[in-house]
Amino acid sequence: MIRTALITGASKGLGKTLAQFLAQQNYNLVLTARGRHTLQATTDELHSTGEILAIPGNVADAEHRRRLVDVARELGGLNLLVNNASTLGPTPLPELAEFPPEAFRYLFDVNVIAPIALVKDALPLLKASRGLVVNISSDAAIGGYLGWGGYGATKAALDLISLTLANELNPFQVGVVAVDPGDMRTDMHQAAFPGEDISDRPTPEVTLPFWGWLLGQDPLAVTGQRFQAQAERWEVRELA
């Protein structure tokens, strides 16, 4: 049976790298991102014996999230949900005390509420497949870095959400993990450092050995853990 994955933020960066990797494993892919043309260009590059469908839209929109799950259902189910879509917030990154409240709310809409809501909508499919949820975190969740307070707060919340979901969904044999992919040469990382040269950062492909390992595991063998995809030791700690 062909497995199906739903990846948010799939048009470029880590999301695109994951889509390429899973296409090589012949997954069905439901890919989404806000940029219609970039998402379609990424989709056109992929080759798989499974279906590859591009559904542009904003994960903060409830109707769009339901559409993504409906498409996965039409493909026969859902084995893997990757909550990768994120927004950085205003740039240059403001200090937390100066963070615009409306921008802070939107950060939580995209980075926190949308992943929870997608899990909720997809839960019947994930239960049926005994699937895995991967929530993309960041070292900003624990670093307390200057200027990263808004984004970091959302990722800290997502870590706790991952732990809670792992505990709550364990009886249904659905796994949930948080993954810090590490610093990478992506558009988002460049936006955080406007005008700076980030060419010393690795491309997202550096994380592929980790993904090859993680997605070969039984979801219940890894559930409740937080991983660092570029560390010498991937398992940071058990969240549960």
Residue 196 has pLDDT above 90, yes or no: no
Side chain identity at residue 206, one-letter code: V
Compare 68 and 49 and report the one with higher pLDDT: 68
**Quick one: average pLDDT of 188-217?**
82
For residue 106, give Cα distances in angstroms to 57, 102, 132, 153: 15, 6, 26, 13
H or E stretch at 98:
none
pLDDT of residue 189: 64
Q: How far apart are the first and last CA of the chain?
A: 31
- Cα–Cα separations (whole angstroms), residue 206 to 11, 22, 52, 232, 234: 18, 15, 24, 12, 13
Candidate list 27, 106, 145, 151, residue with the active-site label: 151
Give the angle subtended at the CA of 178 by the CAs of 176 and 179, to the nearest 5°. Answer: 135
The predicted pLDDT at position 7 comes to 98
Catalytic residue flag (residue 145): no
Higher pLDDT, 230 or 173: 173
Strands 225-228 and 235-238: antiparallel
The CATH architecture to which 4-238 belongs is 3-Layer(aba) Sandwich (3.40)
Question: How much is the average pLDDT of 27-54?
Answer: 95
pLDDT at 10: 97
Closest C-alpha to 142, from 25, 226, 204, 42: 226
pLDDT at 104 over 50: yes
CB 119 within 8 A of CB 219: no
57 CA to centre of own chain = 15
Average pLDDT of span 199-210: 87
pLDDT at 240: 46
H/E run at residue 235: strand 235-238
Region 20-29 average pLDDT: 96
Could you count the other beta carbons within 10 Å of the beta carbon of residue 164? 15
C-alpha distance from residue 76 to each of 57, 83, 163, 222 (Å): 22, 20, 28, 25
pLDDT band of residue 191 (cuts 50, 70, 90) is low
Average pLDDT over residues 15-39: 97
68 within 8 A of 28, measured Cβ to Cβ: no
pLDDT at 41 > cutoff 90:
yes
What would the mean pLDDT of 223-235 be, rounded to a whole number?
88
Mean pLDDT, the chain, integer: 92
Residue 192 has pLDDT above 90, yes or no: no
pLDDT of residue 234: 81
Domain parsing of the chain, residue ranges: 4-238
pLDDT tens-place string over residues 116-170: 999 999 999 999 999 999 999 999 899 989 888 999 999 999 999 999 999 999 9
Percentage of the chain modeled with pLDDT above 90? 80
Averaged pLDDT for residues 87-100: 92
**CA Rg, the chain, in Å?**
17
State how far the Cα of 94 lies from the Cα of 116, in Å rounded to an integer: 26
Q: How confident is the model at residue 197 (pLDDT cuts 50, 70, 90)?
A: low
Largest alpha-carbon pair distance within the chain? Answer: 51
pTM of whole model > 0.85? yes
Q: Distances in Å between the alpha carbon of 21 and those of 13, 152, 181?
A: 13, 27, 15
